Amino acid sequence: MTIKIAINGFGRIGRLAFRRIKELRDSELQVVAVNDLTNNEDLAYSLKYDTAYGIFPYDIEVRGDSILVDGKEVKTFEEKDAKKLPWSDLDIDIVLECTGFYTTNEKAQAHIDAGAKKVIISAPTKDEETKVVVFGVNQEILSPSDKIISAASCTTNGLALMTKILVDEFGIQRGLMSGSRAYTATQNMQDASGGRKSRAGAQNVIPVTTGAANALGKVVPEVKGIITGTTTRVPVITAGFVELFSVLDREVTVDQINEVMKAAANDSYGYTEDEIVSSDVVGDTHGSVFDATLTEVLDANGGQLVKTVAWYDNEYGFVSNMIRLVEHFSKLV
């Protein structure tokens, strides 16, 4: 049975979600509509050509109010108000909300009002009502009655997968996360006013605030309020890593940590013992990849401080794990 997908917002995440769904040959997911405030020629061009991931290997053609991708029609719209979108007429099963605007349950309800059956927001939500879900961590909290959920953020995905394993195996008393990830389109190419966040993104390592630690508590409730952190934007086009410095409930060794991480590896959570760098995970479809070579345990004053590290592609890795969530969500009826 075909699961009809509409993508609202055809920026980085929206386009890569389209790519990932198309790559999954055996998937029942099919993108049938895209809404973005741009013309079809630009939609087709930006889907075909991507600096980070290369040329999309399918024929793309503009035809009237649609684009054809590999011979299949995708209806296109330029509607600012989501309530006015024809989701009912198109029998849309799930909307991928990728604009960065409809980030509360109340706002995302516009897609339901327009006739969509379900909505997945590709960003952290700004309300307490919406369930925040990272596939591979807490998808079991979902029920058939859920209509609007959040797929969290790329950093939360990268952090939650590793944190959940530590919690389940060893328990966490306190933690500090430190992230390092690629710059984004919201940053400046040249210095501008507004403090360090407005400095040239392609030439600087820039400390920024992150909501990942707060969102983590919604995904892994056991660590709510006990993990905080910061992150930096660095001059690479995509990918990065997240470090977690934690005090566990019991003493451990490096080998014990790595053994449980290796045993937990799956489609969402990768594991490596190679000395990789950020470019090695560009295009990787895991939500994050645990790096066993960087695990450290520091004994001090009768206690321990444990460092664990996971790499992640903040675009394609996040999108791939979100699409796993889409497939899971679509089966809850």
Known binding-site positions: 12-13, 36, 122, 153-155, 184, 210-211, 233, 314
Cβ contacts of 256 within 8 Å, gap of 6 or more: none
Which residues are annotated as part of the binding site for D-glyceraldehyde 3-phosphate? 153-155, 184, 210-211, 233
With H, G, I as helix, E, B as strand and everything else as coil, classify residue 296. Answer: strand
Produce one character per residue of 260-284: b if its CB has 16 or more CB atoms within 10 Å, e if not: bbeebeeebbbbbeeebebeebbbb
Amino acid making up residue 195:
G
Which residues are annotated as part of the binding site for NAD(+)? 12-13, 36, 122, 314
Catalytic annotation on 154?
A: yes
Enter the DSSP assignment of 279.
G
Can you tell me which residue has the tokens 């993108």? Answer: 31
Report the 10 Å Cβ neighbour count for 2: 11
Any idea of the CA torsion for 291, 292, 294, 297, to the nearest 10 degrees? Answer: 140
With H, G, I as helix, E, B as strand and everything else as coil, classify residue 54. Answer: coil
Among residues 21, 154, 216, 281, the one annotated as catalytic is 154
Report the 10 Å Cβ neighbour count for 60: 16
Q: Where are the beta strands (DSSP E) in the chain?
A: 3-8, 29-35, 60-63, 66-69, 72-77, 94-97, 118-121, 131-132, 148-150, 172-182, 206-208, 227-234, 240-248, 269-272, 288-291, 296-300, 303-312
Can you tell me which residue has the tokens 């897609």? Answer: 111
- Which residues are known catalytic residues? 154
